[in-house]
Amino acid sequence: MSRLLSTSKKPAPRSKSSAAPAKKKPGAAKGRAKADRPAARAANVVRVSVERGAAAAGLTSAGLQKRAERMLDVLDLSGVELSVALVGDETIRQLNAEWRKKDKPTDVLSFPMLDDASALATSNGDPGARMIGDVIISTPTATRQAKERRATLADEIGVLLSHGVLHLFGFDHESDDDEREMNAYAGVLAAAAVSRLPMRLKLVPVRR
């Protein structure tokens, strides 16, 4: 798998006790239930775009959107917006050359929209949907890597999506230790995206 790198710049334009309870008067119980009711979580928004010819076999746009929404939920985020795009090798090559000065295709690029990555971890409860960034995945490159790993294309894209999302939090892999840490988090996040079990994953952006 090629190394996954992010950039702080964004592309332009930019196309989730067993004891019995004491009996209480119905009126009091009703009032307390209303008082104790937690505030409603703001909905996350995930927008998926697929370039012509870059559709992923075995993974629909709705399926990709669901995985991304699940990742945002596992990260305990609310009121945020994420853009995910599936593109061809030529498009991601052009972006890679423009933003990273590397004139070759790569598997995934992340474009954070927030200057302070720690703000992502405190976005819960903020009104409105805040754009956290774009994750752009090359379907042809993902297809080749899936074959090398003997994985399904859907699962490979899920792994790349989890990597891309983590880059929005400031995760990177400039050292072997960083790469091991990031891969561990990405594996958990990718697995959680297809699990029905309730999960929460707390991330603390690394500051160097």
Which pLDDT score, from 0 to 100, does residue 118 have? 52
Q: Give tens-digit pLDDT for 29-77.
A: 455 545 555 556 788 999 999 999 999 999 999 999 999 999 999 988 8
Which pLDDT score, from 0 to 100, does residue 92 have? 97
Contacts of 202 (CB under 8 A, 6+ apart): 76, 121
Q: What are phi and psi of 134, to 5 degrees?
A: -115, 140
Cis peptide before 13 (omega within 30 of 0): yes
Q: Give tens-digit pLDDT for 31-44.
A: 554 555 555 678 89
Taking a C-beta distance cutoff of 8 angstroms, is the pair 161, 181 a contact? no
Cα distance between residue 82 and residue 65, in whole Å: 10
Q: Give tens-digit pLDDT for 146-192.
A: 999 999 999 999 999 999 999 988 888 777 787 888 888 888 888 88
Which pLDDT score, from 0 to 100, does residue 81 have? 93
Does domain 40-192 fall under CATH 3.40.390.30? My reply is yes
Cα distance between residue 31 and residue 152, in whole Å: 51
- Mean pLDDT estimate for the chain: 78
Taking a C-beta distance cutoff of 8 angstroms, is the pair 47, 10 a contact? no
